[in-house]
Chain A
Amino acid sequence: MNRQALRGAAVSVLAVVLALAASLLVIALTGAPIGKAAAAMWDGVFGSPAQFGATLTKFVPLVLAAIGWVVASRAGRLNVGLEGQILAGGTTAAVVGLYLTGLPTVLHLTIAVLAGAVGGALLGGVAAWLWARRGVNDFIATLLLTLIMTQVVSWLANGPMEEPTGTLGQSSPVADTARWPVLLPRTTLRTDIIMVIIIVLLAAYVLRRTVVGYRLRLTGANADAARATGTRTTVVGVGALCASAAIAGIAGSSLVLAAPAANLAPGFSAGYGFDGIVVALLARNSPLACIPAALLLAALRQGGGLLEARVGISSGLVTATQAVVILLVTGTAWYAERRRSRPRPPGTSDVPAPVAEGVRS
């Protein structure tokens, strides 16, 4: 780990500590007993297997969305529309889960998850097309598509896909064969978390150790130089956006196929797409660091719920805490990314010298 990464990690940790301290202070100011509030948070996250399972359940879409952000931003693209791609992926997964019945579990589930990836990628593909062919800003396109997708899901859940009674404003549950098996009994945690860990490891591997990862990095660092040396940067940009969206789509599929209700309901994305950006930011765009960062945010989300139930502190505080974390991390980026770059005196460069510190990676 080099000095710069170390400094980045330190800043992230410090930001989280500061934000948590600030929210504890706010709790104290409201007159609520701090000890009780902290205990509620703790119990909310670790208090019982059920609570811990619920925390891990929230971890799943968070870490996936974060990986989506990382993949796109490596290539220099800003995919602000992860939220919409989660909705799109969840929708296509739900369609497969609801209407493509009569298949064995393994097959049905696989197809449904893949459908989620495809659904997300399709929405991301529209944005990518607008970016590549029509010169539309990637962040404007993905954001607008998210807003459209929100309405589409709301329409589907209240219209064509609504459950038979037509009163609940959501679809029927998907077929049992399309649901992820339970991992921990009596919790909401299902086996999709295993797939998610594999995806994170795979993303880390691809970004670090493959030609594709190299080309993403190169394109993000300097698209002109990449193009001049034979990388097809438009293809890379489109590919990064689509892959990012596909991962968000898988997150969407989990939010349907691994949820207790296992159905399509308006707003089921619940802000995970935007929170994923927070996670990626905290993790400083490193896929592996997304795991602890996502665990932390999942714990905040989950603990915040019990905080409200027990101490009457609204979960809005947890949302605000996240915002403060982002602001602190973004506001100090100039410090964390600073490099020691001093121009050297002229005349020293022509002295040939071997690589000083030899090779390390």
Chain B
Amino acid sequence: MNPFDVALFAAAIRLSVPLLLAALGELISERGGVINIGLEGMMLFGAYGAFITAWATGSVSLGLAAGITLGLLTASIMALVSVTLRGDQIVVGVALNLLAAGVTMFLYRLQFQGTQPTTVRMEPYAVPLLSDIPGIGPVLFDQLPLVYFAYVLGPVVAYMLFRTRGGLRVRSAGEKPEVLDSTGVNVVRVQWSGVLAAGGLAGLAGAFLSVGQVGLFAENMTAGRGFLALAAVVFGQWRPYGVVAACLVFGFTDALQLRLQSMGEVPREVWISLVVVGVLVAAAGVWRARRSGSPLRWMLLGAMLCVVAGGLGTALLPSFVLPSQFWLSLPYVLSLIALATSARGVRAPAMVGRPLPSRG
């Protein structure tokens, strides 16, 4: 049975959307020099705020707005403590994750006493004409409205970062804040806006999880997606389109994982595609090594492993079962490998994790 059908790709896209929203916001924040370990917490707050508002008002859009608002509020705490008061970014992020887990659990249990009510949720919107295209139509254009928003967000963020004055300022704040300072721009304000962008989008991502997809809330329903979004920024090497690609890859592995779990075995098609991926990775590696002189060894080794595993799987083990945990950890493994093998030019923005210097 071939697992690669329309439903799989549709699911991959749906699963990548919350990652895209959160990761693109986090990209802005990190480009501005603030790493936001609290992304998970911001998403959770967003999910809760959206749910509770939609539950009280019966309105999806009010729910989404509430999700964004809660994300922004959480981000304000992050910015206040880590940017204005120059506290440790990492530690504040850890605190926000605890805060979100604690507060949402407390309030949810207080209000619903162990029951799990459902509420309204967003309806898919089939784009006229486009959704009728055979093949990709239903995959791409019969989705929740937020999905379309996520499509355009990547180019928008790329444009903002590289083609607007505000984007230049954000990038400058993350690389060399004293330059901004010397031109009279308030660096603290620039970093605040980066963190707020991350918070608002993370809140929206959380809202997508609760009100967008299922119309209910569950304790810790973000289930590590905030960390996944963090990994996507790393895997995407701090570039907008890289982050989009990373989110798509992560969404796809998640969808495939869910599908394979329901199938109980790994069909031959998966093994074959593994070979294809290996070949593609090797080709990309050679191409990249030619251009920028990045180390080739590791990439080739990975590609060879893919090809060998895929070949063996195709020939010998058509029904071998891979545990779901393998797929769930794959994004993090990929991110680490990407970091460890990347060329020297690719690194986190210089100010990530460091407080702003005070002005002499």
Contact = CB atoms under 8 A, between A and B. Distances in A.
Interface stretch (A91-99, A171-179, A225-233, A318-326): A318-326
A323 B344 CA distance: 37
A80 B231 CA distance: 14
Contacts of A214: none
Contacts of B103: 316, 320
Contacts of B80: 331
A330 B87 contact: yes
Interface string B90-117: 1110111111011111110110010000
Interface stretch (A105-113, A148-156, A200-208): A148-156
A323 B99 contact: yes
Interface string A133-166: 0111101110111011011101100110000000
A137 B94 contact: no
Interface in A15-60: 26, 30
B340 interface: yes
B99 A141 contact: no
Interface residues of B, number: 51
Contacts of B224: 147, 150
A269 to B, nearest CB: 14
A130 interface: yes
Contact of B96 (A137, A323, A331): A323
Nearest to A304: B102
Interface string B243-280: 00000000000000000000000000000000000000
B347 interface: yes
A178 to B, nearest CB: 25
B77 interface: yes
A334 B81 CA distance: 10
A136 B344 CA distance: 10
B328 A151 contact: yes
Contacts of A78: 90, 353
A317 interface: yes
Nearest to B348: A137
Contacts of A139: 35, 90, 353
B104 A137 contact: no
A326 B78 CA distance: 12
Interface in A222-240: none
Interface string B153-197: 000000000000000000000000000000000000000000000
Contacts of B326: 151, 155
Given A140-B234, A274-B94, A327-B81, A318 B102 contact: yes
A78 B94 CA distance: 12
Contacts of B231: 144, 147
A313 to B, nearest CB: 8
B36 to A, nearest CB: 12
Given A319-B105, A323-B99, A331 B332 contact: no
A277 interface: yes
A155 B328 CA distance: 10
Nearest to A317: B106
A144 B335 contact: yes
B102 A137 contact: no
A219 B299 CA distance: 34
Nearest to B85: A331
Contacts of A151: 325-326, 328-329
Interface of B: 35, 37, 77, 80-82, 85-88, 90-92, 94-99, 101-107, 109-110, 113, 224, 227, 230-231, 234, 323, 325-326, 328-329, 332-333, 335-336, 339-341, 344, 347-348, 352-353
Interchain residue pairs A-B with the least CB separation, the first 7: A319-B102, A316-B105, A320-B102, A323-B99, A316-B106, A330-B87, A151-B329
